[in-house]
Amino acid sequence: MRRRGDAAASRARSVRTASRRKEPLVSTLLAANPRRAGHGLRDASSPGFTLAAAVLGFFMITLDAVVVNVALPSIRAGLGGGLTGLQWVVDGYTLMFAALLLSAGSLADRFGARRVFGAGLAVFVAASAACGLAPAIGALVGARFVQGAVAAVMMPSSMALIGQAYPDPVRRARAVAVWAMGGAVASSSGPLLGGVLTVVSWRLIFFINVPAGAVTLLLLARVLPSPHRAVPFDRGGLITAVIAMGALTYGAIEAGAAGFAAPRVVAAFAVAAGALAAFVAVQARGVHPMAPLDLFRSRTVAVSVAVGFAFIVGYYGLPFVMSLYLQQLGGLSPLGTGAVFLPMMLTGAALTPVSARIAERLGARVLITAGLVVMTAGLVILAVVAPSAPAWALAGLMVLVGPLVMPPVTGVLLNSVPEQRAGVVSGVFNTSRQVGGALAIAVFGALLAGPGSFLHGVRVGLLIAAVVALAAAAASLLLPAPATGDRRKD
């Protein structure tokens, strides 16, 4: 009896001490009562809740990058602004996303992935509501900048949450495949969902994030706090990265209206080149760089980052180009345009969850290379047959554009670095993806607005995406041949 009384008194003192130190009560109870930790609290913090929150968050982040494509003509009719304004509606989000991802990866490590993800999600929902209420194109672009900034905070922290919840490499690879399904479904269903909502009002494509965000926050409340560690903030790297990406995107967008020889376009590209050189210098000489250059000594990391960039050039560029083409030249409504993307959506939703198992059987390298080659073929065929093919044929061809590439390359990347660098490498990887998306919209939009015909711009844009995908397929042959079930660095 005395031993039981001493144990109870010890647990009570632990709880009081945690209260005074402001430590999480759940953590104290876990230490004080292992049996309880093995039942109720373990269930409350099941990896399933972590994965569900990460999937929903990734879904919203990706959806807002592509859902506006179908609604662009309706937005222009309601708020005004030419093609340049519409490009900024898309790229305002993508640019901030890309520019801040590198530092956001460090935030996840420094303050804990759960806390960073939750804070970013709350601001994301508020910014989405501001987009839906925007009275003019400038206000919409400004709100999109805020959306992109906090989406950058959410992305690497969602990947870090999965890494913490699933320490086993095989289970982690499968969880990454489920997480990637959120992005794949959002990417391919965005045009259809955007078309359905635009029938009522284009503003609904932003308001839908409010209930989705509330559900995600409820799931996140069931997740235990994440570990964190002191990580310095690389201000010099952040400033030079934002300037480089912003100037490059601005120059590419303005080139469509003013031409590549225009003084402001040349100046923008010069600023981008100077800022990029400064960024590399800061990362090489800095004590705590946000994108350590030694990461790229790993062949797996370097190739994975390149593949992520190349894949998104086509995967984000395709909906932008084809949505405008189908409405402006094809005469389809927003809903009809969204329906053309339905086969692509269903294929991605069906194949993405099983991609990890396919990679286990065939090897990740085989799957990545084959996916990029098929993507190249699909983009080339679309560029050739788009003017004469009916909508149903275009819908079938778009299925070829890469539903199996991202899950295996993400798993390969995470398994190639130590756990303590998961946040940083996630930021680098996703930055490469978003830079690819931002440049695709800027360059393809410039081609559509250039001196040639609209159809010529569509063809050239798709062929550029095909060339980039083919180059990535060749680079993917440098990835390790065995399936990456074991954690190792090459």
The answer to whether residue 345 scores a pLDDT higher than 80 is: no
Same domain for 153 and 25: no
pLDDT at 94: 82
pLDDT at residue 336, rounded to an integer: 87
What's the whole-number mean pLDDT along residues 478-486?
A: 60
Q: In this structure, is residue 155 part of a structural domain?
A: yes
Say whether both 272 and 167 belong to one domain: no
Q: Is residue 489 part of a domain?
A: no
Quick one: 204 and 79 in the same domain? yes
CB contact burial 425-455 (16+ within 10 A = b; e otherwise): bbbbbbbbbbbbbbbbbbbbbbbbbbeeeee
Task: Return left, alpha or beta for 22; rule: phi > 0 is left, psi -120 to 50 is alpha, else beta.
Answer: left
Residue 483 domain flag: no
Of the listed ranges 14-18, 74-78, 289-293, the least confidently predicted one is 14-18
Q: Considering the chain, what is the average pLDDT of its residues? A: 78
Confidence of residue 204 (pLDDT cuts 50, 70, 90): very high
Residue 133's SS3 state is coil
Q: Residue 37 — very low, low, confident or very high, per pLDDT cuts 50/70/90?
A: very low
- Phi first, then psi, for residue 79 (nearest 5°) are -115, -10
pLDDT band of residue 179 (cuts 50, 70, 90) is: confident
Angle 445-244-157 (CA atoms, 0-180°, nearest 5)?
90
Rg (CA), the chain: 23
375-387 residue pLDDT tens: 999 899 988 887 7
Q: Are residues 296 and 212 in the same domain?
A: yes
Query: What per-residue confidence (pLDDT) applies to 269?
Result: 92
Residue 20 lies in a domain: yes
Least confident range of 187-201, 226-240, 259-273: 226-240
pLDDT at 229 > cutoff 60: yes
Residue percentage of the chain with pLDDT more than 70: 83
In a domain, 485, yes or no: no
| Token pair 């396919």: residue | 358
pTM of the model: 0.72
- Rounded alpha-carbon distances, angstroms, from residue 17 to 25, 33, 384, 451: 10, 15, 70, 71
Residue 450 pLDDT class (50, 70, 90 cuts): low
Dig out the tokens for 262 from the structure.
């225009």
Taking residue 21's Cβ as centre, other Cβ atoms within 10 Å add up to 8
- Could you list the residue range(s) of the whole structural domain that residue 147 is in? 45-233+290-476
CA end-to-end span of the chain: 58
Rounded mean pLDDT, 412-424: 73
pLDDT tier, 40 (very low <50, low <70, confident <90, very high otherwise)? very low
DSSP per position, 181-193: HHHHHHHHHHHHH
Average pLDDT over residues 240-267: 84
Whether residue 148 is found in the same domain as residue 253: no
Contacts of 396 (CB under 8 A, 6+ apart): 343
Instruction: State pLDDT tens for residues 261-309.
Output: 888 889 999 999 999 999 999 888 877 787 778 888 888 888 888 998 9
Pair of tokens at residue 24: 């999480």
> 482 lies in a domain?
no
**For position 273, what pLDDT does the model report?**
93
Contact call for residues 347 and 466 (beta carbons, < 8 A): no
Determine what percent of the chain is predicted with pLDDT higher than 90.
13
What was the pLDDT predicted at 338?
Answer: 85
In a domain, 481, yes or no: no
